[in-house]
Amino acid sequence: MPTELAGKTALITGASRGIGKAIAFALAEQGCHVVLCSRKQQALDEVADQIRARHPDVGVLAKAAHVGVAEQARECVDAAMAEFGGVDVLVNNAGTNPYYGPLVDLDAPRAEKTVQVNQFSVVLWTQLAVKACMAARGGTIVNIASLGGLVPELGIGYYNATKAAVIHLTRQLAMELAPAVRVNAIAPGVVRTDLARALWENHEERLTAALPLNRIGEPADIAGAAVFLVGAQSSWMTGQTLVVDGGASVRPMIV
């Protein structure tokens, strides 16, 4: 069934797996043309073929790019402009976490990589999309943050710090880009992805027992929220962070 998103173009970073892949499929189902970006072309091509097979009426473009490298990001946005004439939806999803441990042992190279991919890329890709077309024609941006950006957590404190920055950047960009461009974020709890594997793989039963909704998230749970945030039903929302966590943030405190 056609939706108000049919015919629009969505660019998704980190689209070769996990949440990014699920969002790409969900937007294609809405009739969006999709531009898939991540580091590895072969993985992107496989996802592109899967989307084409399921949704032959939408355009699909797969373009490898490192999200934190300005020239590669620019080439990806330029390719989207050349192929589809514009970008209506930007999903800043790409993320990394090269370090697990206390902040007092964090080294500079891994700190810099985490900031480059998780935090700076949000600004970079937003700049490119806005200057390419969104400033003139409008658009919507969804940034994938994390529940960890709202609460402290052992082991992934620096990753969470960059996600807290994404939440603030969402508010700042929403203020700066209104009314032409709406900017919102999603803060997922633990989702069954490769990036979050260490958080769930060996203790999923214990984790789910502690969640009010008794299961960890699936990429499709986040994709549904993304479709809402880029669609007409959220047209009076900007600068907000939507928490999708299975109820983790409303668990009673143990005293």
Residues marked as catalytic: 159
- Side chain identity, residue 167: I
Amino acid at 71: E
Question: Which of 76, 67, 71, 74 lies closest to 95 in space, CA to CA?
Answer: 67
Q: Which two tokens stand for residue 29?
A: 């189902």
Count, residues in the chain? 255
CA 156/CA 159 separation, integer angstroms? 5
d(CA 84, CA 9): 7
Q: Which residues of 63-102 are buried (b: 16+ CB within 10 A; e: fewer)?
A: bbbbbbeeeebbbbbebbbeebebbbbbbbbbbbbebeee
